[in-house]
Amino acid sequence: MRAGEIAAFGAAVLLVLTVLTINARAEPGARFDADLVLPFELRQKSRLLTKLSTGEEVGVVLDRGSVLRGGDRLHVSDGRVVRVVAADEALMEARCGDATVLARCAFHLGNRHTPVEVRAGALRFAADEVLANMLRGLGATVEPLAAPFEPEAGAYAGGHHHHSGGAKHSGIIHDMIERRR
């Protein structure tokens, strides 16, 4: 079809786009040619259309369940390697002088399935004033900050697992609940 012409009724028009793709991890510490700066929310996605630091559009197609961490290296379809950079995000950091109180705070965040980055004497989580107030009520001091977010991978991060039925999280307790229904 030429510019200015109209396609016949029912005719299919196919657009061909050439997009760089990322579909494999590179060796840790490999030399890199560009950065891929992403917040944690996007580093959890195995299918993503985004841009490199060079401004080039790139499609990320990794194994399902893959989580990218700051410093990871990835192969681009044109032969380059890119470095993953964890973007600064709006976070909150909870601190307390008592290890028991800090453990209690971690428990309550985990009980709400909140991604948490565990640091020496502190817990970081995505900015959420409701959670912050809950932790303050438990005795923590909570301050906002902007920083890269690298939460714990979780108990099932090391291997592939399947969810049972309608369970939102895999695990023995969820499987038992599903079997009893």
Q: What is the pTM of this model?
A: 0.73
**pLDDT for residue 172:** 39
pLDDT of residue 7: 57
Domain covering 20-86 in this structure, CATH number: 2.60.260.20
pLDDT score of 179:
41
Q: Which CATH superfamily is domain 88-148 in?
A: UreE, C-terminal domain (3.30.70.790)
- Stated as kind and residue range, the H or E segment containing 47 is strand 47-51
Give the C-alpha separation, 84 to 40, whole Å: 11
Backbone angles phi, psi at 88, to 5 degrees: -65, 140
Distance (Å, whole) CA 72 – CA 69 = 6
What is the C-alpha separation between 56 and 20, in angstroms, rounded? 8
Q: Are strands 141-148 and 122-126 parallel, antiparallel or unpaired?
A: unpaired
Asked whether 89 and 42 are in contact (CB, 8 A), the reply is no
10-residue mean pLDDT profile of the chain (181 residues): values are: 59 62 95 97 94 95 93 96 98 96 97 96 98 98 98 65 42 39 44
Q: At what angle do helices 99-111 and 129-138 cross, to 10 degrees?
A: 140
**For the chain, domain boundaries:** 20-86, 88-148
